[in-house]
Every structure is written in C-alpha cells, then in structure tokens.
Structure 1
Amino acid sequence: MTPSPVAIAAYRRKYERELFERVIPFWLQYSLDRERGGYFNCLDRDGSLYDTTKHVWLQGRQAWLFAKLYRTVESKPEWLAAARLGVDFLQHFAIRPDRRAYFSLTEDGKPIQLQRKIFSECFYTMALAEFSRASDRPDLLAAARDELATLWDWAYDWSYVGRPVLAGQHPAQSLAVPMILLNLIEEIAPDDASEYAVEVEDCIRRILLHVNSDEQLVYETVAPDGSQIASPQGRLLNPGHAIEAGWFLQHWAQRLQREDLSADAIAIVRWSFARGWDDEYGGIFYFLDAEGYSPTPLEWSMKLWWVQCEALYAHLLNFSLTGDRDDWDAFERVDAYCFEHFSDPKFGEWFGYCDRQGNVTHRFKGGPYKGCFHVPRALLLCWRLLQALETPNTQSVA
C-alpha cells in the first residue's frame, strides 16, 4: 500500500524540524571561529570544544553546506556569512603552491598533516563551486573548474600526491574515486555538464566496474578492468559507499534520461541494503566480506551515522521513482533506526558511532571524520524530496 499524503507530510515536518531546529543551529552556535576563520570540527556532545584542530575536508564540506542552504532554501545572511568564513579560511591556509590541500591545520591555519589522497582537494573544490553561486563570484567557479582539471589528472595515479606504486601491489581501483568525482561534476555543473560529457561517462563506467550483477554485490575495490582481486581487500564490501554511489548514479540517470542507468542505480541501492542490513540488531554494517570471512577492518560491525544517512535518501529517492512499497519500507526502517540511535534529543545533532548492538561508542558530535555534512545533507535532500512527494507534479530528483 502506498503511504498516505498524511504520512508523507508527517515525515516532511519531522525532517524539517530536525534539520532547521536541531542540526543546523548546533553547528552555527558551536563551530564557527569568528576570530581566526573556519570552523571548529571537534565538538563534544554538548558542543564544547575538545580539540582546536581544523580538518580541511570538513571545512570544505561545511562551507558547501551553508552555501547550499543559502542558495537553495533561504537567503539568510547568517548562512552566507558562515559559508564565507570557511571559504576564506581555506583559500588563505589550506592550499599549497603545488595545489595540494592539507588534511588538517591548527586553529590559526598552520599545517599539521598532509594525506596522500585527493579528498581534501575534492571538498575544497566543491565548496568553491557552491559558494561561487551563493555569493555571485564567477571567479570562484573558474577556480573550481581549474581545481577539477588538476584532480582529474591526479585521480587514478596517486604517485602525483606522493603515494608510490610498489612492486608487489595489485593494480586496483577504489570505488571512492569515480563516485566522488561524479558528484563533484554535478556540483560544478548543475545545469549544463556538456563540457564534462567524457568525464561523466568515464566516472559512470568506472563505478559500474564495481558492480557484479550476478552476485548482486558492489565491491569496494576491483582491478582496473573490473575483475575481482583475490584478497581481503578485493572481497571487501562497504554498503554505505555502494548506496551513496547508487544515488549519485541516479541523479545522473535522471539528467541524462538513461533508463538503463536508473535501473542499475535502483538495484545497487537495494542489493547493498539487503546485504548490509543487520537482521539481528538493526542498522547497516560498516564493512562485510563478500565470501563470509571476518572482514579485516576491526570496526566492521559498527553502525556509522553516514552509512545510515546515505540509505535514508537513497531509499526515498528509489521510492520517488518506483512507487514500490519495499523502497518506502526500507526508508522507514532506516529512519526508525537513525532517530532511535543517532539523533540526540538533549543537545541536538547526531552521534556518529554505535556498536553492533546500537549503543553509542563515541559521545562527540564532531571529530576528524564527522562534521557538518552527512547528517544535514541527508536531512536536506530528504526534506526536499518529501516536499516533492507531497506535490506530485514537482521535480522529484534534487
């Protein structure tokens, strides 16, 4: 049975309250560093600061989020000011002369750590693109395009970012790289991506190399030709990443009017959820082994906030396209788990880490890997989609 308009409206109000009354105010109140710029990421349960380190990829994500809110929800000056605080800090301190971005900085912008990855650069670029539109700064969009061109050169050869290729390594491709690049192109070119047509198709092709339709699995790491790597790394499943990749693909399927890609994206979300859901305790596992061995990451059985966040939107997006009750039921199942285990009724925002049984293991709301991004992005996307479902003639894909 299709959910009633009353049920959809109730969820819309729920997500609206959670986003605008309990999540966004938390970050506005506690994270903004108005003295030195940027954001404090390491916030305890009640918002108190336990470490002044500023993590660059979280700076970029938070700047993007506030610019997106300003441009697409309401032109609140405080949202634009919050976004500017992050972008200015990043431009002054995060980028080296060789275009690499640091991973972490002191509160006044001195470098602490440089990773041999490209993700800090990706989220810096995403922040530039969204803030350029929010602030009417075409020069920043041009800068974002330049950054994307550099990232494209680095993406599949990390020797450019200081990671050597060793003789015993098996050639491999991570799902994270093509999916984040595909999302980055969506952010840089939300209206007309024709100049990136080749890059978009390359990202889609590379993502689909990870999908084994016969097994109904999405592998986190595969050989460059898509074949499986016979190792724990090659057997590793990351249901959250796969689900996130599914909705990234679905956005492009709708833009490109590709029914085949849409069907693939729907299946990726459904398969990954079916494999990843913990039938005993609820929630989606962080990692699994495709052949049933114990996954080598020690945290494999934990339930992480971002994994559940990606599933919330992906299932709702599937339902908006299919009308299938199973997709709606999956959304409701994840929603119930999230609001029981992650949402903090006392101080707002969400916890990030639970053990397999659903007990909170880390009380903080922000750390080196959790910031103002996955929770508000998922709530925003779901809220907008629920609005569209209330009014069926509106556009359903964000």
Structure 2
Amino acid sequence: MYDLLVVGSGLFGSVVAFEARRRGKRVLVVDKRDHLGGNCFTQRIEGIDVHRYGAHIFRTSDRAIWDYLRQFCEFNHFVNSPVANYKGELYNMPFNMNTFNQLWGVVTPAEARARIEAQRVPCASPRNLEEHVLSLVGRDVYEKLVRGYTEKQWGRPCTELPPSVMRRIPLRFTYDNNYFNDPYQGIPMEGYAVVMQRMLEGCELRLSTDYLAHRSELDALADAVVYTGAIDGFYGYDLGPLEYRSLRFEHETLDVDNYQGVAVMNFNDADTPYTRIIEHKHFAFGTQPVTVVSREYPAGWQPGDDPYYPINDRRNAALYARYRERADAQSRVRFGGRLGEYRYYDMQDTVKSALAKYEEWFGAESDAGDRGGRIR
C-alpha cells in the first residue's frame, strides 16, 4: 500500500513525488510513456542530450526555485539567443537593436523608434491579433517575424486569433540577443532525464502504464492520487474535449559537426512547414563530430494525440470551469500541472505550482505523516 500515487513523471509530478518521499511517504509513480520526465525528457544520442519533445531551457528570476533544482543537477551557462529565418533572411530574436538593424539598417534607438512609429497602425480596441500587432510594431515586424510563425503555430489566421495570444511584444532598444531577462538560466549538464531520476529516487516507478486503462486497480494501491494528465481525458471527455495544439517532431542525426550554428532557429515564413529546427549539441556547447537536429511541426489535436498548448478562448475556459468544478469535488484525486489545470506553464512556474500545491493538499498531513500519519 502506498501513501500517494502520482500519475505522470513530468516536472510537476516529479516535484510532488520528491516532496512526499522526502517526508517519508511511500510513493508510486506511473507513466504511460516508456521513459520518465514527461515532455522534459532528454535522450543521449551520440553523446548529445536530445530534447525529444522540444527545447527546454530553464530560467527564473527566483533564486529559491533555482537553488531548489540545483540540488538535483549542475546547470551550464546556456543563454537562449534564437535566430529567425524569413525566406533566407536572418534576424536576431527577441526584437532588439540587432533585429532593427537587420530590418532597416538603423543604428540608434531613436532611429528604430521612428521607423516603428511610422509603420504603426493605431487601433484603440484591437479585435484580433493582426490589429493588435500592427498597432504596436507596424507592418515589417508583423509580416516577417510574427504572422507566418504564429499562424503555423496556432493553425489559424492572425485575423482569427485573439490579441491575448501576444499580450506583450517585448521591444528592446539595446543590442542584446538574450531572449530572457531572468538572471538564472541554463540547462542541466547531465540532461533532464537525470534530474527526474534523482527526484524519483526512493519511489516505485512503473513506466508504460496507462493509468486510465487500469484506474481501479491502481487507485486501490494508494490513499491519495495526484493526476497530471489532461483533466478532460480523466473524465472520458464526457462534457466534450478541450482544445489543444499538438506538435510533431522529426529527429535526424547528421554526419556534420555543425548544422546551423545556433541551438534554435525559427522559420517565420508561411511556406516552411515546420516552425523551428533545434540543434541540440549547442545547448551544451558540444564538440562531437556529428550532430542531431529536430524539426518541430505544429499539428492539430484530437483525443489520443499528445496535447501541448491549451487554446484559452472563451469556449474552452467555460468548458474547463465545468471540469474543474467536478474535479474540486473529488476527495482522493488532485489535479495539477499544465494538462491537469489546462494552462500554459513555464518550467519555473511548474516547479512553483507543484511546491505550492503539495503544501496546499498534503502539508498538514505530511507533517503528521512524519510522525506516523498518512496522506488522506
């Protein structure tokens, strides 16, 4: 018998399992995939840690969260500086003075501001993403750096996407290609799979185990359940499925030592079917004689596919609220993480949420458990 069953060995589930285990709880973790780590999983190929489900670059401004993860790994000093490729024209990201110089040949911040202001299409109440972006940055940035990439990512024209898809468009009037402002950034030097292995030490781990297919027998093994899968899937989609965007990855090992010269290259034109190519060795400054690249294709989603990005429009928000009301009435099952809460989380937000949720759900019981009590 276990005190806690955790469904999903991704970052949220692994943090919850670690917090329970370090308090002396007996923890069972199940995952339907044949590996731990969820979408953070890294696989070692030719000495290169390959991010199987897209780039995962950890960054935070919270020293406590940084130190929390450092108990499981040593981070390198990778700083994300992606390049945007628009029909062979290359632009630095995020939008900064290097980008503006590449677009217009401007040199000073004043010149860049003047070019943006001349192109802006003022709109007091934008009805869609196109109007929103044009009102902030004008036609050149929109056409070359926003439109094609965003429409591929979401599978809809920008005229049909809400302005909230890009609430803020960070414009930096400095020559700085650091994508994030956070002071703590990096990637685990041994890969994320090792991080999760260390988090789950002392727990029983069952891979290739579909919780929903064996729910009754697994539930009978534990006092409480933390479910990190899709909340609508838990209920068999009986109120209707929530909407997601999915992704498809093509991984390729190439007999060259350097394919594109950067870890992340976005492809911003509408004609290129993938949104970006990841060259994994650059995350760790690798010098291997070969390289591994991954092409990332946005895809529609239907039940059975891997869900990645929730589509947070009004219809889905209302539907999620109905599932959430039902979930809140559960006495033994708690829902957390991106899919359990139907929201987008960065990695740092996932760790914060998992720590907070554990204390909310089990803090008092865990304190009692340290003296022989059990999670209820």
**Same-fold call, TM > 0.5?**
no
The alignment's TM-score, normalised by the length of structure 2, stands at 0.28
Query: Is the radius of gyration larger for structure 1 or structure 2?
Result: 2
Hey, which of these two has a bigger chunk of helix by percent? Answer: 1
TM-score (norm 1): 0.27
- The structure carrying a bigger strand percent of its residues is 2
